[in-house]
């Protein structure tokens, strides 16, 4: 594997480098050292398809282990893409030992600078507890870029094609789970059944549920994960964090630093970077709460494990009912909204229909949901 470094990165690495070197473009990367939030980051750009790998929070000692850190980052990022382990291992084996050289391609260097700007734009995805940054790498690799022959391309899609061509076989074949997500509405049946790769993180699961139900991600959210046993202590059985059927909460996953810092009966941690596989399928009941004002509760049941899922994104296989529009005013507000739009003689009918359309309210369409889920992951 060849890493062609900017002068700034070579100075930091303090290693011997080849003045000129060649490598197959798929195994060659350009790399630059930048600073984000007062911490050192390295952005690597693949010479063949412009796929991006991000390293963050590097300290002086880490630059001495760069030969180990880069393959690890590639491995973890490809794993998050749901690429099979044997394909990843074959790629790294073909790439061989890391060699270093100066950057020599001005065109790719310009694209590398653009990639650095994209990574800085998505700085909120960076995890300060890890040097490899799969989430930021994947997001940056979905950013539309100009191709070598004109037109535009998505680096992630090009990487998939290159790996499939190199190894002559499908590159996706991972473990997934079938989950049923039910919106708690007394008078309505609103649910979606989804297949989700187990290496999906909870912050991405939030986006998947938002897409499946047509929410717009205007508000905060949290996940609660429940033990397989029911609570026996009446003192806590009425606490709002407990399952409606009496199951004991194991952990609360939050999207907000402030919520994480509160003292809770239930242990809390930030959801960012936490994979479903840490808790699922060991635990089979979850709750997803969206918008603490309208308080939309979604109960999640893990129905089965799929051992040979051939996609790297979630799909919806069944569903029923329309989710309420954003900011409708909880379940009672939703019932009022439905009454008004069903009554053409109501004085607020037209304005309410227009408001609902503006909020994205629409009938459940499984084909449209799956198109959006695919676009959400591939773009």
pTM score of the predicted model: 0.85
How open is the CA angle 102-145-45, to the nearest 5 degrees?
30
Domains of the chain plus CATH, in order, are 2-167 (3.30.420), 174-323+364-378 (3.10.290.30)
Looking at residue 325, what DSSP letter applies? P
Task: Provide the b/e sequence for 157-166 (b: ≥16 CB within 10 Å).
Answer: ebbbebbeeb
Checking if the pLDDT of 127 tops 60, the result is: yes
> What pLDDT does residue 232 have?
67
Checking if the pLDDT of 137 tops 80, the result is: yes
| Closest among 125, 321, 88 to 204, alpha carbons compared | 125
Please say whether the beta carbons of 165 and 175 come within 8 A. no
Mean pLDDT of 166-185: 94
High-pLDDT (> 70) share of the chain, %: 96
> If pLDDT is split at 50, 70 and 90, which confidence band does 15 have?
confident
High-pLDDT (> 90) share of the chain, %: 82
Q: What average pLDDT does the chain have?
A: 93
**Helices and strands, counts by H and E, the chain:** 13, 15
């Amino acid at each position: 594997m060849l890493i062609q470094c900017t002068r700034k990165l070579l100075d930091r690495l303090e290693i011997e480098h080849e003045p000129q070197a060649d490598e197959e473009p798929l195994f060659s990367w350009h790399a630059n050292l930048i600073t984000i939030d007062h911490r050192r980051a390295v952005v690597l750009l693949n010479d063949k398809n412009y796929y991006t790998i991000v390293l963050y929070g590097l300290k002086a000692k880490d630059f001495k282990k760069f030969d180990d850190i880069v393959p690890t980052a590639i491995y973890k990022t490809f794993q998050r893409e749901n690429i099979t382990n044997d394909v990843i291992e074959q790629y790294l084996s073909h790439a061989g030992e890391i060699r270093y050289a100066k950057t020599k391609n001005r065109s790719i260097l310009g694209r590398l600078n653009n990639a650095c700007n994209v990574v800085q734009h998505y700085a909120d995805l960076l995890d300060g507890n890890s040097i490899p940054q799969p989430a930021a790498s994947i997001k940056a690799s979905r950013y539309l870029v100009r191709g070598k022959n004109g037109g535009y391309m998505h680096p992630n899609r090009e990487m998939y094609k290159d790996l499939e061509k190199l190894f002559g076989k499908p590159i996706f074949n991972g473990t997934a789970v079938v989950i049923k997500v039910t919106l708690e509405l007394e008078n309505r049946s609103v649910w979606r059944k989804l297949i989700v790769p187990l290496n999906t993180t909870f912050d991405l699961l939030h986006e998947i549920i938002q897409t499946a139900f047509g929410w717009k991600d205007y508000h905060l959210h949290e996940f609660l994960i429940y033990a397989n046993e029911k609570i026996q202590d009446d003192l806590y059985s009425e606490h709002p964090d407990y399952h409606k059927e009496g199951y004991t909460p194991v952990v609360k996953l939050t999207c907000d630093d402030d919520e994480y810092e509160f003292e809770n009966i239930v242990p809390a941690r930030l959801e960012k970077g936490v994979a479903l596989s840490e808790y699922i399928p060991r635990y089979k009941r979850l709750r997803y709460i969206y918008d603490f004002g309208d308080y939309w509760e979604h109960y999640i049941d893990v129905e089965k494990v799929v051992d040979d899922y051939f996609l790297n994104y979630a799909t919806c296989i069944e569903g029923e009912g329309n989710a309420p529009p954003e900011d409708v005013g909880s379940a009672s507000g939703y019932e009022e909204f439905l009454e008004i739009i069903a009554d053409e003689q109501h004085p607020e009918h037209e304005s309410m229909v227009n408001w609902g359309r503006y909020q994205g309210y629409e009938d459940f369409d499984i084909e449209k949901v799956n198109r959006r889920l695919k676009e959400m992951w591939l773009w």
